[in-house]
Amino acid sequence: MSKPSYVISCPIDTYSGYGARSRDVAKAIINTDKYDVKILPQRWGDTPGGFLQDHENWKFLNKYIIQKLDSQPDIFSQITIPSEFQKVGKFNIGITAGIESTGCQAEWIDGLNRMDLNFVSSQHSKKVFQDIKFEKRDKRTNQPVGVIKLEKPIEVLFEGVDLNTYFHKDNNDVELDLSSIKESFCYLFVGHWMNGDLGHDRKNVGILIKNFFTAFKGKNISPALILKASTGRNSYLSRDTLLKKIKRIKHEFPHNAKLPNVYILNGNLSDSQMNDLYNHPKVKAMVSFTKGEGYGRPLAEFCLSKKPIICSGWSGPLDFLNPSHTVLIGGELENVHPSAANQWLLKETKWFKINDKTSISALKEVYTKYKPYSVKGKKQGQYIKSNFTFEHMQDFIDKKLDEVLPDFPKEVDLSLPILESPKL
């Protein structure tokens, strides 16, 4: 019996968050063994490609890749921002991380409404898309003629962690060499340092560094901060840009101030190396003062190291960070700053501003009272294993597709002879 054809259009081969999401979704759908899956690769901004070739465990996806569509598929999934969603298949599914602020363009809602079903990564994204409304105007008269709002089904498909890739390792099993870092206690940040003035880049790396300096300035013995970061591409130019940004933050302190060390890891690391980084004995906790996340994938991955997490108490990470097992920093909403705004992050919308005093206190306390927080980290690791794994995600999408997909007619190939049953 032939299987329904399923084409997934996505940035499958890119070094990006959407690339990782694409690979997980494709693998989950392939694993159901219910569909004839093909993958139509797309680019993702300026992020580099070549991921599949560089990662042996993902090369199997190459056999599913096609370069163009020859016919209408039964099911068509597109993994991208909603404004790019297209109605191509007989049944169409839009998959997006969603939104990091409190609003989006009307074109995003139009895109969601072109699909038969939409998946987003978090409850935050789902709520933003469900709540937002736009006035619809006649193009000729400019008079109000209705409202643009979400009219199609939307579900949360969380980004489950693969336990075969991310897991707790004993110190002796970690192979990643961080011998050039002299400190034995390091905070870790993972993410891009994006556009925006100090305090206004989306990952809020500038304020993380400034508050880290404030927390431990003048100390003879202090922790370090490791930034697994780039400006979008891992290159010498990217590294130099980051170093210049750190230098500008240092200039906000007195010239003779003794400040703790900040280290940059700017090259590509394999999944195995990232797991080693999370589990390295020098890495004691992960920290993110993010202004907004559609999900926050590195935070979920880090949980499996069973170490403490300090994070902004807003948006996507709240789905999987249990407040009893992590340190969630309070704050308030503020408008997206013009220096960070773009066609996707609108300056009329809001995102999170952490409380500086609380975040500085959290950095100090996790360092000086590490043992009770390490217990919380172990509990958070178990919480992820029990609720937010790749297997949990795969089970959810499998059951949801069974629930919503129609019966597709079985087409007869008329080029083949029709065999009649023999007469008895």
- Is residue 382 domain-shared with residue 311, that is, in the same domain? yes
Is 128 part of any domain?
yes
- Is residue 364 domain-shared with residue 249, that is, in the same domain? yes
- Whole-number Å distance between alpha carbons of 103 and 297: 21
**CATH number, position 62:** 3.40.50
Lowest mean pLDDT among 198-207, 233-242, 252-261: 233-242
CA distances from 166 to 31, 277, 306, 344, 376 (A): 20, 11, 11, 31, 18
- Is residue 53 domain-shared with residue 151, that is, in the same domain? yes
- Whole-number Å distance between alpha carbons of 365 and 157: 34
| pTM > 0.85: yes or no | yes
Question: What's the mean pLDDT in 269-290?
Answer: 96
pLDDT, one tens digit per residue, over 373-407 is 999 999 999 999 999 999 999 999 999 999 999 99
Match 């991921």 to its residue by tokens.
51
- Is residue 144 domain-shared with residue 184, that is, in the same domain? no
Q: Residues of the chain with pLDDT > 70: what percent?
A: 96
DSSP state of 149: E
Is 64 part of any domain?
yes
**CATH number, position 222:** 3.40.50.2000
- Is residue 335 domain-shared with residue 394, that is, in the same domain? no
Assess contact for 101 and 137: CB atoms under 8 A: no
Q: What are phi and psi of 159, to 5 degrees?
A: -95, 90
Look at residue 423 in the predicted model and tell me its pLDDT. 37
- Is residue 374 domain-shared with residue 399, that is, in the same domain? no
Give the residue from 214, 239, 225, 374 showing the smallest Cα distance to 288: 225
How many CA atoms, within 13 angstroms, populate the side-chain half-sphere of residue 345? 24
For residue 71, the enclosing domain spans: 5-157+389-404
- Whole-number Å distance between alpha carbons of 385 and 199: 34
Is 165 part of any domain?
no
Give the residue from 358, 194, 212, 388 showing the smallest Cα distance to 291: 194
- Is residue 351 domain-shared with residue 400, that is, in the same domain? no
Please state the domain count of the chain.
2
Q: Mapping DSSP to helix (H, G, I), strand (E, B) and coil, where does residue 207 land? A: helix
Match 């569909």 to its residue by tokens.
35
DSSP state of 11: -
DSSP state of 193: -
Match 């920290």 to its residue by tokens.
287
pLDDT, one tens digit per residue, over 168-185 is 999 999 999 999 999 999
What residue type is 385 in one-letter code? K
Written as six digits, the tokens of 118 are: 């939409």
Assess contact for 333 and 353: CB atoms under 8 A: yes
Look at residue 1 in the predicted model and tell me its pLDDT. 63
- Is residue 152 domain-shared with residue 278, that is, in the same domain? no
- Is residue 88 domain-shared with residue 68, that is, in the same domain? yes
Look at residue 411 in the predicted model and tell me its pLDDT. 58
Give the residue from 204, 161, 180 showing the smallest Cα distance to 306: 161
Written as six digits, the tokens of 64 are: 């599913």
- Is residue 230 domain-shared with residue 92, that is, in the same domain? no
Which residues, listed in sequence order, are joined to residue 232 by a DSSP beta bridge? none
H helices present in 12-55, as ranges:
17-32, 51-54
- Is residue 327 domain-shared with residue 201, that is, in the same domain? yes
Q: What are phi and psi of 117, to 5 degrees?
A: -155, 145
- Is residue 73 domain-shared with residue 191, that is, in the same domain? no
